[in-house]
Structure 1
Amino acid sequence: MTTESSEMLGMEGDMNIPELQRDLQRKYKNVGSEIEAMWRAFSPKQRETAMRETVGDGKRASAPKDKWVAFLDLGKDYGGWLKVNGEEGRLSMESMAARSGLFLPAHEGQSVLWRQMTTLVHYNHLMEEILELGSSAQVKKKAPAKAYKDTTNALANLSIDPKPLKASISTIIAQAVEQKLASEDYLELLRGEPVVLHQAVQKTNYSRPELVPDELGRILPLITDIYISRAFFEVISTALQVVVTWDYIVRLVHMLDGLEDKVKRPLIIQELSNVCHLEYRRAQIAFQREMSLRPGVAGSKFRRITSGGHSRVAIKGKPSDVTTTDPQLHYILRLCHTDTNHKDAVQWIQKLDDHNTQHADDRQRLSETQVFALGDLAIIVSFMHSLSSCLTMASRSTKAGVFFTGRVDRLNEELSQYKAEADFGDHLVPMDSILKPQAASNALNALDDYMVERSGARMGSLYDGMLDECLEDIEQKYADAKSYLQKDMKTNAPSPTGEKASTSFRARERREKEKTRPATASTHEITPLAPQEPETPLAPSSHFKVKASTALVFDTLFTKSESRGSASWTDFVAAMAELGFSVTPKGGSIFTFNPPETMVAGSITLHRPHASDVEGWKLLWIARRLRKKYGWSAETFEVV
């Protein structure tokens, strides 16, 4: 008898029964006792709610003792099918099926697999619903939607001046340093605040390109828990890259301060232009990813393209197709389009802000994460806009000034391999486990251990030395250029970006370096911060005597209680105004608060929340930024 084997009979994509069964097993191992206690404590109404939330439009079983047929072996070949050749083979297979019950005709096997698959999906979902209903950790609950209100003139007139006044190099340095500090604060929040890490992983997991329909309207049913691990990996690696990128921008701008050398200055400007474009593209892709979600204002305008096992999203049609029918959508698609550079993005952010100001209801079409992604895009666009008023910027180049971008591209290619094989489910499944400090800490430590095993170094160490190497390359390029000029030759020598080495070779090389490297902490750590780690903020110059309403705002921000409340954004702006701050809108949801001249710490840039209140992880972020920037605490403010 001859047979032909095939892959599992199942839905398109990577979802399969062994993975779903493993997910269910892991959930029970991690939180099974909690779920049992919650279920026993539930009222009949709560149990019905959990079941209805689980099955969606499906139907609940008519009796809890319904029995379903299942295969016995849950190995890697589970669900595979065999095609027999010839009459003898068919009769032999029928005989085996009758004796063992392990083989079914294809039409029956498909039904069995489908039923098992949907059952496991529902059981996995049910466990998450029980945790959601029974958990007392209200920090993860989404606040009720509130109508957006334009409450101050500053908030109602968002704008980026298309022709900015010439900015000084000191202003540019201050802006770059501010964003470097903001990115460092966010990474520290991911390391030290489980609620922030949970929000970021959840957002990344549910905005995967695989969940966007392709040209035929098909959605990859990738709902197994392995994608939580990949989202977690992506959150940490992206946050780390943003920190390093702004760190490098700060160094380059500092080098340009007072530099008049006609050979070295263009080299640095080209490098700076490429690095800024790298960050612009990262922010643009992140915004595009958020806008491609369904349902949503722009979800139907995107399609998934899968090639070589990797998926990405692309715009369907042209942005101009909706210019008159839906102006807001037109501006959004323009910002998402790959042909839109940072110069063009200025006007589209301006138009989108103006539209949302004039049509408050349309602003509600954007989700909180979409508004936040727009703000991130506005930050780099605003910075490049100011930079262009101070320097004559070079166009992006793929040949010159690629010391940093070349290294980042190679590292990202390597990291993508590690992300695809990462599995931290023992700490991250179910996703709400991240809200537990110990689980979040264990996941971060597991990620660092995984990177040592795969890459030969901790994730932060992969970036250590990169910036110094880039600056050394610039100096070498400068020396070569001067040498060529002295010999009357062209200065078109290729940039020393290094040869592409295999992943295994780079891992071995890093392990050898680790043996000779001093036992010091990486400058770009991702390991968890100690829960009670004392912070060392700047000492406040003085205490402020303020109104009771202002003191209440800062008390809410700086409270150490786990059950934090919320603060109105309007009240926060008013409180900052009482301290002498002025507010400058930067476009999107970004505002810069400029302190009075008596404060030497400088301005601070913050995201305005989508709703009218500052709460949850955003409350933590703003509090951390203010604490580290100005040294404030709840005790800094005294009621008059």
Structure 2
Amino acid sequence: MSATPNIAPYDVMRPGRPNKNYRKITPIYWMHHCPKSGGKGRKTSKRRSPNFVDINKQRCGHCGFRVRASNWRNITIANYDGEPIGKLDGAVLERDRICGDILKELHQDLARKYRKHGVAVASMWRLFDRRQRATCLRAGAAEGLVLKHPLDPSLGAVCKFIPEWNLRDIAESSPDFLLDLLQHRATKSLYHQYQDGYDGRLGDHAFIEKMMATRNLRCAMPFHNCYSIFIEGLSREYGEAFRLSVELTDLPGPLRRAMQMYLLQSLNIIIDDILEEGSQDRKQNQPPKKSDKAVTAALSGLSAHAPPRKLALPELITSARDQKETLEECLNLLSTEPVVLAHAVNLWFFTQPELVPDEKGRRLPVHTDKYINPAVFEAAHSAIQGAAIWNYVGRLLELLESSVNDKLYRPIVLQEISNICHLEYGRVKGLFKRHVQGHSGSKWFKRLHYMLRLCQPETTATKAVDWVKKLADLHQAHPTEREKLSEGEADSLSDLAVIIGFIQDLSPVISMPSLSRKKGQMFVSRSQQLETELNTLKGEIDLRDFAVPIDNLLEPGMAEGALRALEQFVIDKTGTKMGFLYQDLVDDCFSDLRNQYEHIKAKFERKDKTEWSALPTPTTPQLEKRVEQRREKEKTRPLRSSVYEIAPSPETNPLEDLDLSPQTFTVSSSAAEVFAALFAKSEARGSVAWVAFEAAMAEVGFSVMPKFGSVFTFSPPETMAIKKSLTLHRPHQSRIEGYMVLIISRRLKRVYGWGKETFVVA
């Protein structure tokens, strides 16, 4: 290891000696009263003499005094001539504090990854050929552009900041070059990297000074009247710029910090890419691609050209039940298929509101590993939320159907239905906005108008119908516009269209009242309170051992471990599982609806003619008491899993033990291929044309009837023991692929007990 040369900051920036004014304002020494020295060119005092410690060495050569985290604020800074020029007042520039925090987080992330994956990374890297190394290097670069060699000027100042990050040294030379660099940056402190390089190379301080002196490296936005400090043991303020009460422009400080940030970020990324390139599990578990036309499945039901038809209440109950079952299957896939979990976490991570670019294209820095934890939390939470809401909607409609002649119960249930539908509309509208603002919304073009209208707060569910119709017609007339949607936009738009269409169909059937902020708040108020409680927890959980990098979830046992750790975290903080929180919410709301009905009924029997008013929502106890009540309830809860389980036990997986239909079907080879593709257990699942799926179902004896829009009902033949029909959404002019393959196959297995062995070629 080489020590940093004794170079004074700024001294190497210009040829010869600095000018007089430059000498007066440049911080060069820490003033220190040394008991063993008479000072440097100054008169001595009777007790102690001032000595000057090199601001970069930070050690007195006479008495061994060191500038440390405990004393740096009390030491005066002196200029080139030994004259005091002020103290740091402790006020950090706000923009600099953010950069300093990111630098330290990146170093912590790299150290953690190296401890966990260092051996595997080294083994993989040594086995890679030049092409694989180059692939890893380019994968983490913007547009795949990297330096060809250390002096390559094609990428501007990159060769002055991180010249070692080039194809020749990393991809085409010995594998030890990157591995030594990685070990140094991951195992040494930031201060050590600032002072010393590895294998005889310059430390970051001396390297930046050299670049400024020999290659004219300059800071585009210098910090005025401040100075960046790099002190050993200073973990919180390391690399941050502090204000100084003198005329001073800090040039090298921001450059040193930027250089460390760029290199640490690149190393963090290349670890992820090496693990992905070298992992067989990740290659076999690529996220299934969802059709870019799947959104039209929900939109087609709202098309302006679709003939209007008033639905019956049983049809709406079936529609709500189908949506609930679809969301429950998605939740089950999230908890059992690592590829689905990893894909969902990626979507939540990269659609954080902080990553939305402003008018100048700038984003807040929320890309470090700690932000993956909330993404895992939100992916699971959102899946449970959606399934619970549609379960509640379906049960309310069933309750409404059973109380059709009860004039007391009906208005209570109707108001609750109205409010829960608008709650779901607001939820999926927020998800849609989250995806739009990070993709299509970040670039302005004329046809974005319809999508932005759907994101506006003043766009109610009723008004949204027209905008969704216009968007559906636009996609029909200009298919390329639909293809521009990101996967997250397409999925969230589909969910938004589902609830908009459901409200449109439901309103004329049950004379649904308008949204009320006072009545029918059983579910709405409690779900909002529960969501607030859970949102306060997502920043506290640490799942980095499982989910960093995100694709590490694809490794054996990692997804299961992450979900179990998440489940245990929620239990520790709330007193029960996340699934039970929402299951109890639904059950408690139905219980309170019944109590409210009994209250109104008793009031009516007393012939009290005062206007009906809803019972006040039961007072919710304080958080500590709620947690304790949940823990007590857990002691008496039956030994069964929640219907919204995110970490199910293998032995309780309902799909593993299903054997509902022992009969087999003799089908043609084409139909057998369709079912084989649907029930394939390999990770590389294929796709099936919707027409081929319809034909295969018809061959088994099912009748296929279109209901409304893209919804089709498959009714089993009389010869089947199970008479339950199945309702599915058809991808408009597309194929069944990606998640649709998993969802349809699981629903066929859950409803009819089918599997690949059910079908025999004639």
Counterpart in the other structure of 1:300: 443
Question: Which residue identity lines up with residue 127 of structure 2 in the other structure?
Answer: A
Match of 2:506 among 372, 387, 412: 387
Tell me the SS of whatever aligns to 1:172: helix
> Is 1:506 the counterpart of 2:630 in the alignment?
no
Does the CA contact (< 8 Å) of 1:191 and 1:444 recur in 2?
yes
Deviation at 1:380, TM superposition (A): 1.8
Deviation at 1:47, TM superposition (A): 1.4
Does the CA contact (< 8 Å) of 2:297 and 2:729 recur in 1?
no
Question: Partners in 2 of 1:433 and 1:231 — Cα distance?
Answer: 14
Does the CA contact (< 8 Å) of 1:139 and 1:616 recur in 2?
no
Question: Partners in 1 of 2:262 and 2:732 — Cα distance?
Answer: 38
Aligned length: 594
Deviation sequence 1:144-169 (CA, Å, 0-9, x none): 9999799x999999847777433222
Question: Partners in 2 of 1:504 and 1:113 — Cα distance?
Answer: 44
Does the CA contact (< 8 Å) of 1:155 and 1:585 recur in 2?
no
Cα separation, partners in 2 of 1:272 and 1:77, compared to 1, 3 Å: same
Match of 2:518 among 399, 408, 411: 399
Unaligned 5+ segments in structure 2 are 1-73, 75-86, 146-154, 170-176, 178-198, 206-229
Question: Partners in 2 of 1:144 and 1:18 — Cα distance?
Answer: 36
> Is 1:31 the counterpart of 2:123 in the alignment?
no
Deviation sequence 1:415-453 (CA, Å, 0-9, x none): 110012222111111111111241111111111111122
Counterpart in the other structure of 1:197: 341
Question: Partners in 1 of 2:292 and 2:743 — Cα distance?
Answer: 23
Question: Which residue identity lines up with residue 273 of structure 1 in the other structure?
Answer: S
RMSD: 3.5
Question: Which residue identity lines up with residue 460 of structure 1 in the other structure?
Answer: G
Question: Partners in 2 of 1:393 and 1:257 — Cα distance?
Answer: 14
Question: Partners in 1 of 2:598 and 2:292 — Cα distance?
Answer: 60
% of aligned pairs identical? 36
Tell me the SS of whatever aligns to 2:661: coil
Question: Which residue identity lines up with residue 16 of structure 1 in the other structure?
Answer: I
Deviation at 1:23, TM superposition (A): 1.5
Question: Partners in 2 of 1:582 and 1:67 — Cα distance?
Answer: 73
Tell me the SS of whatever aligns to 1:271: helix
Counterpart in the other structure of 2:262: 118
Cα separation, partners in 2 of 1:148 and 1:255, compared to 1, 3 Å: closer
Counterpart in the other structure of 1:375: 494
Cα separation, partners in 2 of 1:179 and 1:32, compared to 1, 3 Å: same
Question: Partners in 1 of 2:418 and 2:100 — Cα distance?
Answer: 40
> Is 1:19 the counterpart of 2:105 in the alignment?
yes
Deviation sequence 1:493-544 (CA, Å, 0-9, x none): 4543233554344334433444555555444322144299562446238533
Deviation sequence 1:157-196 (CA, Å, 0-9, x none): 9847777433222222222221222121111111111111
Question: Which residue identity lines up with residue 511 of structure 1 in the other structure?
Answer: R
Does the CA contact (< 8 Å) of 1:594 and 1:603 recur in 2?
yes
Question: Which residue identity lines up with residue 219 of structure 1 in the other structure?
Answer: R
Does the CA contact (< 8 Å) of 2:239 and 2:257 recur in 1?
yes
Deviation at 1:340, TM superposition (A): 2.5
Question: Partners in 2 of 1:478 and 1:358 — Cα distance?
Answer: 50
Does the CA contact (< 8 Å) of 1:24 and 1:124 recur in 2?
yes
Tell me the SS of whatever aligns to 1:627: helix
Does the CA contact (< 8 Å) of 1:558 and 1:623 recur in 2?
yes
Cα separation, partners in 2 of 1:531 and 1:470, compared to 1, 3 Å: closer
Counterpart in the other structure of 1:98: none
Unaligned 5+ segments in structure 1 are 91-104, 302-321
Counterpart in the other structure of 1:314: none
Does the CA contact (< 8 Å) of 1:256 and 1:265 recur in 2?
yes
Cα separation, partners in 2 of 1:422 and 1:44, compared to 1, 3 Å: same
Counterpart in the other structure of 1:338: 457
Counterpart in the other structure of 1:306: none
Deviation sequence 1:224-262 (CA, Å, 0-9, x none): 111211111001111111121112112211111142222
Does the CA contact (< 8 Å) of 2:302 and 2:468 recur in 1?
no
TM-score with structure 2 setting the length: 0.70
Does the CA contact (< 8 Å) of 1:195 and 1:617 recur in 2?
no
Counterpart in the other structure of 1:79: 239
Deviation at 1:352, TM superposition (A): 2.4
Does the CA contact (< 8 Å) of 1:159 and 1:585 recur in 2?
no
| Pairs within 5 Å for 1:570-589 | 570-579=691-700, 580-582=702-704, 584=706
Deviation at 1:407, TM superposition (A): 0.5
Question: Which residue identity lines up with residue 548 of structure 2 in the other structure?
Answer: V
Deviates further, 44-53 or 71-80: 71-80
Cα separation, partners in 2 of 1:154 and 1:11, compared to 1, 3 Å: closer
Counterpart in the other structure of 1:456: 575
> Is 1:223 the counterpart of 2:367 in the alignment?
yes
Does the CA contact (< 8 Å) of 1:402 and 1:495 recur in 2?
no
Question: Partners in 2 of 1:271 and 1:334 — Cα distance?
Answer: 27
Deviation sequence 1:548-567 (CA, Å, 0-9, x none): 22211210111223443333
> Is 1:429 the counterpart of 2:514 in the alignment?
no
Tell me the SS of whatever aligns to 2:728: strand
Tell me the SS of whatever aligns to 2:251: helix
Question: Which residue identity lines up with residue 187 of structure 1 in the other structure?
Answer: L
Tell me the SS of whatever aligns to 1:540: coil
Deviation sequence 1:560-595 (CA, Å, 0-9, x none): 2344333344533443454545364866xx643433
Cα separation, partners in 2 of 1:593 and 1:68, compared to 1, 3 Å: farther
Deviates further, 166-175 or 339-348: 339-348
Deviation at 1:9, TM superposition (A): 6.0
TM-score with structure 1 setting the length: 0.83
Deviation at 1:487, TM superposition (A): 5.1
